[in-house]
Amino acid sequence: MSKLKGNLVIGQSGGPTAVINSSLAGVIQEAMKHDEITGMFGMVHGIMGMINEDFIDLGKQDPADIDGLRHTPSAALSSCRYKVSPNEYEKILEVLKKYNIRYFFYAGGNDSQDTAKKVSSIAKENNYELRAIGIPKTVDNDLPIIDHCPGYGSVARWLAIATRDAGLDTEAIGIVDNVKVIETMGRNTGWITASTALAKEHENDAPHLIYLPEKPFEEERFLADVDRVYKKLGYAVITVCEGLVDKNGEYITASSRAIDTDKFGHRQLGGVAIYLCDLIANGLKIKARWDKPGTIQRVSMVCASNVDLEEAYMVGKMAVKYAVDGKTDYMVNLVRESGKEYKCTTDLVELEKVALGTKKVPDEFINAEGNYVTDAFIEYAKPLIGGDLPKYSRLKKIPVKL
Amino acid sequence: MSKLKGNLVIGQSGGPTAVINSSLAGVIQEAMKHDEITGMFGMVHGIMGMINEDFIDLGKQDPADIDGLRHTPSAALSSCRYKVSPNEYEKILEVLKKYNIRYFFYAGGNDSQDTAKKVSSIAKENNYELRAIGIPKTVDNDLPIIDHCPGYGSVARWLAIATRDAGLDTEAIGIVDNVKVIETMGRNTGWITASTALAKEHENDAPHLIYLPEKPFEEERFLADVDRVYKKLGYAVITVCEGLVDKNGEYITASSRAIDTDKFGHRQLGGVAIYLCDLIANGLKIKARWDKPGTIQRVSMVCASNVDLEEAYMVGKMAVKYAVDGKTDYMVNLVRESGKEYKCTTDLVELEKVALGTKKVPDEFINAEGNYVTDAFIEYAKPLIGGDLPKYSRLKKIPVKL
């Protein structure tokens, strides 16, 4: 195979994460090793940067700044959620030619993998040689086939820590604030919410109840669940997915915002925790408070998982290696090796198999009652958060004897 | 002065924090040095533990667990918000006598300092010798006289980091999610919200606007502020206090919860961010999202300030030293030394001067427009968060030349 000489372009798409800049660093640092890659351009605001010819020259950056990306959250190139129209794909083809771009990398979720696939298609249809590789990224962890998505391990660690802290808080002051409801991100799947279970070290630790959109929400069962925990412990910590739905697939609460649909037609959610607090106050006559950490949970470097940071870097590097090796129309896949020690390696999965697909939390990861996760989920998720949570101390309940 | 021999009791009251257990460790470890303190009891759920004779023996704990308290958030003894009734003070007097308690320490905010004062009063009125010392603690930072309250530096660090992260997130995806509103804690004062300004390193960094309850909220000015920032940057990050009020002193939005008043008559707040997002969507026709980290912000050990942890430990130790030294009816005060290097030492302030008082953010810390803090506030708050925020990297906007 002859070397394909030309420029490289990389874009970041969808919601920012703690580790998507690690993937960017991986791409840049790997690309510098390959002389067929003559220049490196960063799309500003993802695919919109291609359409608008808005690029940053990545080859002229300070190497220390590139290294620093491995510990910088959000999306250094700026991101987008943009559905490209057919005539804009024509424009993208022009830009590919004009800038002699032969390597196209796009980091994102299922919408972004679809965009990568379509960019490749327009090039193919016009006999323009291009290597297009998708780089997985989504805190939602909902891409098909891949073991888990870069970004997920870090949001999971953030939520494990936050839920444990919130649990200690509620344990201490639960006689006043009886119930805490934490609303997590998760548009259509419960992966993020499920990760709050990683907070639990002992039987009575938070979270006590977990509700995922994979199981239709039922008010009466919910109230009975909360009542049972409250009667046992005197308080309860509940984690719930923003995308919770009822048996008709309707979101449990409507957003209170007037403009609530993004360009892909995804509804912006909010408010399920408020709704549940009302339900608890009215149904059980006990006080409930809610936390909705929102986007703060997805971009925290303080709680980033080392495993996640390393894997995000690896998928960036491997994307370049695969492309230089002649591969195109694939997303880099993370494959968990068998064996006791956790280890992931990469291979490739066709873009068409992941584009627009959604992997829900499977039944084996959700308990029969639909109000918690199983040990199988813990086994799956625990290695992803990069080690134990910080050690805390607990006083022994030694009574005073006169 | 002859030594007052007897037992020590300590309680934790009000909202948990990252550092109130450091104060507890300080009390215990200092008390062990003084032979006139014959036993150490922890009140379970603060003053309720006194009334119910519900104590933990702190003298029989593993010393490693006591050390570990210095890095364990929440309130290890469990907390309360409990207004003691007159006949319960009689019961407390009985318990003091029954357990030969001569040293009474109570860590909390202004309600708690009032409780400490009243416990001391009932003892005095009955000629029972007792040394009662208050230990300052409140993330709200609203105790009078004291330079700042243990707990505040850590919530401030948490919010500085979270706001910087949210700022990078919004900068990256602001073309989709135009405005981010972060609702912080703060019942009646804006200290916590103001601390978000510590996120800003460069002119255009988040937060762009800060709204405190010390300045009445005006919708039209608010919308004009947001519009100006949005037109300049293409996005905006706003931080707002949950206790925001209008010119009549009415909270900007009512809580949606049915049970919303605690035992002291404080209203539980929630929902101002939702209200502002609606206002922005309707008034400016741009999309706004909100984050409400809630109680998660107040108990995070991952973001705890080292300065705060050390000072919380110090006020615990000093409380014991002052009491052994014969002092009573005081709260331990933190006094900022003059000079370039930040340093706080302790002295004492009468409990009656801090009980039930509230220190608002002064005018010199709020800008003339009422939409940001001043440099004087930054100078005040910066040393409290215990050092710089983690270093991030930023790519240079070097255009691609063909």
Annotation: CATH topology of A156-301+360-385: Rossmann fold (3.40.50)
Residue A92 near residue A84, CB atoms below 8 Å: yes
Q: How far apart are CA B51 and CA B47, in angstroms?
A: 7
Q: Write down the mean pLDDT value for chain B.
A: 94
State residue B2's pLDDT score: 77
Q: Which residue of the set A140, A225, A308, A329 is catalytic?
A: A140
Decide if A6-150+303-354 and A156-301+360-385 have a common fold: yes
Note the pLDDT tens digit of each residue in B123-137. 999 999 999 999 999
Residues B342-379 have pLDDT tens digits of 999 999 999 999 998 899 999 999 999 999 999 999 99
Average pLDDT for B100-113: 97
- Cα B189 versus chain centre, distance: 11
Inter-chain residue contact A285 with B69, CB threshold 8 Å: no
Give me the pLDDT at residue A255, please. 47
pLDDT over 90 percentage in chain B: 91
Interface test with A, best of B57, B164, B295 (most A CBs within 10 A): B295
Here the ipTM equals 0.95
Spatial separation of the C-alpha atoms in residues B289 and B151, rounded to whole Å: 28
Q: How far is A213 from chain B (nearest CA, A)?
A: 21
DSSP code of residue A186: -
Residues in contact with B58: Cβ distance below 8 Å, sequence separation at least 6, in sequence order: A395, B10, B28, B40, B41, B42, B66
**Residues forming a β-bridge with A204:** none
Chain-chain contact of B299 with A398 (C-beta, under 8 angstroms): no
Distance of residue A285 Cα from the nearest chain B Cα, in angstroms: 8
Our CA-based measurement puts residue B345 at a distance from the nearest CA of chain A, in whole angstroms, of 28
Compute how many other C-beta atoms are within 10 angstroms of the C-beta atom of residue B168.
25
Question: What predicted TM-score, i.e. pTM, was given to this entire model?
Answer: 0.96
User: How far are the Cα atoms of A54, A200, A205 from residue A378, in angstroms, in the given order?
Assistant: 43, 10, 15
Helix axes A152-173, A306-324, angle to 10 degrees: 170
CATH top class, domain B153-301+360-385 = alpha beta
Backbone angles phi, psi at A176, to 5 degrees: -105, -60
Distance CA A167, CA A164 (A): 5
Listed residue (B321, B214, B388, B394) closest to A68, CA to CA: B394
Q: Using DSSP bridges, classify how beta strands B55-57 and B37-43 pair: parallel, antiparallel or unpaired.
A: antiparallel
Give the model's pLDDT for residue A261: 42
Nearest alpha-carbon partner for A280 in B224, B331, B204, B258: B258
The pLDDT, as a whole number, for residue B1 is: 65
Whole-angstrom distance, CA of residue A261 vs CA of residue A258? 9
Return the amino acid letter for B305: S
Domain borders along chain A are: 6-150+303-354, 156-301+360-385
Cβ–Cβ of B296/A390 closer than 8 Å? no
Tell if the CB–CB gap between B396 and A295 is shorter than 8 Å. no
For the sheet with A131-136, list strands across it. A55-57, A37-43, A6-12, A101-108, A131-136, A330-336, A344-350
> What architecture (CATH level 2) is domain B6-150+303-354?
3-Layer(aba) Sandwich (3.40)
Mean pLDDT split into 10-residue runs, chain A, 402 residues: 92 98 98 98 98 98 98 98 96 98 97 97 98 98 98 98 98 95 95 98 97 97 98 98 93 51 43 89 94 96 97 98 98 96 97 94 98 98 97 97 90
Beta strands of A144-205 (E only): which ranges?
A: 179-184
Confidence (pLDDT) at B254: 45
Pick the residue from chain A with its C-alpha nearest to B285.
Answer: A259
Is B222's pLDDT higher than 80? yes
How far apart CA B169 and CA B175 sit, in angstroms, is 11
Instruction: From residue A216, give the alpha-carbon distance in Å to each of A226, A244, A246, A252, A375.
Output: 17, 8, 5, 10, 21
Pairing of strands A236-241, A55-57: unpaired
